[in-house]
Amino acid sequence: MAVNLKRYSVFYSKKKYTQDFLRLYNISAISGVENPQDFQKWHNGGGTFHQSACIDPTVLIEVGAIVHSKALLGANVCIGSGAVVGPSVTIGQSTKIGYNVALSNCIVGDSCAIHNGVCIGQDGENRIGDYETLGGRVAVRDHVSIASKVRLAANCCVTKDITEPGDYGGFPAVPIREWRRQVANQFRISKKGTP
């Protein structure tokens, strides 16, 4: 009797947690769907996904991550906890998405690494090439395309298209050597101004 009661209480608490989670984040209003029951738990990692999303069976969606309707996730993609993959987002194979990443209105290429806190595509469609690395808290402005084989330093903001492969940093994002010169000049100027 005690074993059955314990199993039932675990089932009830998971069901209650899911309902509270859907209500807390108001998933039906965010995704534009009528029925929050269209979201299900993913078998690999325990994250939540919409039943209209097209997801490869090898994808890992960690607990707390949400994949919205009509998203397309390629093979071996890993979605970190707290990440939100918005409606109609396409993610190429072998891409790693960090914790608390927000993706919407974008196409992400193959073999990319998107670190924690990155925001892409909130206001318009973006295209991210293959073999990208986006450092923590990178922001990408609307309607921007980034070429393949680009690395973006943490906390930079991409405000215009990046057409050449290489390393970029700063606000707005510029080639990394130029950004380092800017930082060194700012440091020298601030040293001169102090008594």
Per DSSP, the residues of 6-48 read: HHHHHHHHHHHHHHHHHHHTTHHHHHT-S-GGGEEE-TTTB-E
Mean pLDDT of 88-112: 95
Checking if the pLDDT of 20 tops 60, the result is no
User: Residue 149's closest CA among 138, 136, 134, 169?
Assistant: 134
Checking if the pLDDT of 7 tops 70, the result is no
Top-level CATH class of 40-193?
Answer: mainly beta
| Three-state SS at 174 | strand
Checking if the pLDDT of 9 tops 90, the result is no
Q: Average pLDDT over the chain, rounded to whole?
A: 84
Q: Which residues contact 11 (CB under 8 A, 6 or more apart)?
A: none
Q: Residue 77, class by beta-carbon neighbours within 10 Å (0-12 exposed, 13-18 middle, 19+ buried)?
A: buried
28 or 121: which carries more pLDDT confidence? 121
φ, ψ for residue 194, nearest 5 deg: -90, 140
Mean pLDDT of 158-182: 94
Mean pLDDT of 31-37: 58
- Looking at residue 2, its pLDDT comes to 42
Tokens of 38: 């269209």
Q: Which residues contact 126 (CB under 8 A, 6 or more apart)?
A: 105, 106, 107, 120, 140, 142, 143, 144, 145, 146
DSSP-derived pairing of the beta strands 39-41 and 60-61: unpaired
